[in-house]
Each structure stands twice: as structure tokens, then as C-alpha cells.
Amino acid sequence: MSLELNGKMEGELRNVLKTNDPQQARRALAVLAIAYGADVDTVAGIFNKSTSWAKNLLEGFQSKGVGSIEVKTSPGRPRKYTEDERKLVCDIRRAHPDWALRQVQDAANSKLNSNMSLPTVRAIVLDGGFSFSTKRTWSRLD
């Protein structure tokens, strides 16, 4: 199987390589490798995938173009809290960097009128790029 790319399609694939999604970048790189003359079996071996993966990727690209290499969303339950609610939790954390997670949780629950659990607050804060440390308390031994 071979593939010929025009300049526009090659440019679009190169733009995909610059994205932050490694899975999509791998797919674009595999299509480019096939377009530059690499064998489907060789490309499958390089990416540690099956030959059918490379063939399906190539056929999808030939029929649908660059849109075929985009990562589809996986099935499952949607997130319980919306992006706006998650942003509010991060805004509270940003406004009060010295607060413990429990305090962030209490503030978020009062503003959202919800019952967000502490593990959920922790996951949202970590996804938002924040870090936190546990507070140490020292007690005197008598």
C-alpha cells in the first residue's frame, strides 16, 4: 500500500505532529512514514502495533483525510461536574493558596450548593495544575 500526499495534506499532518496529544501525533507520523515510502509492516513494527492497525489507519486517511487520525472520545459516563464548576474550584484554590483541601472543598460546596467529595476536589485541583502539601502538626511528647 502506498500513499501520495499533496502539499496541503502534508502540512496538515505536520501541524498534527505539533499537538500535545501523543496518540494523534503517532498516527500522523505513521501516515507520513507510509507516504515517504515505508512499508506498512515496517511502520507497524516501529510503532509496536499490528499490521491491520497500520492498514486501517492508512485506509481511514485515504477516505476521510486528516480527520481520521483524530482521537475519538472513549465511551463512558460523562464528568459529573462541568468545566465551569471545575474552573470555580481552581479559582478558589488560586485565590487561597494557603488553604487546605478541606477548606477549598467547603468553599466550593457552599458556592455550588453541592456535596463535592474531598477526592474529587483533590483530582480537580491536580488536573488544574496545582500542587498541595499535607500540613504537619507537631505535638509534644510528655
Residues with Cβ within 8 Å of 52's Cβ and at least 6 positions away in sequence, in order, are: none
Max distance between CA atoms of the chain, in angstroms, equals: 80
Number of domains in the chain: 2
Question: Are 61 and 29 within one domain?
Answer: yes
Burial class (CB in 10 A: 0-12, 13-18, 19+), 137: exposed
Is the same domain home to 89 and 119?
A: yes
Looking at the structure, do residues 46 and 91 belong to the same domain, yes or no?
no
Tell me the residue range of the domain where 113 lies. 83-127
Average confidence (pLDDT) per 10 residues, the chain, 142 residues: 74 82 86 87 90 90 84 80 92 90 93 92 90 64 59
What does the block give as the cell for 8?
496541503
Record the cell numbers describing residue 10, joined without a space. Answer: 502534508
How far, in Å, CA of 117 to CA of 106, rounded?
Answer: 10
Its pTM stands at: 0.51
Last residue of a domain, one of 69, 99, 115: 69
Residues 62 and 102 both lie in one domain:
no
Report the CATH number that the domain containing residue 18 is assigned in CATH: 1.10.10
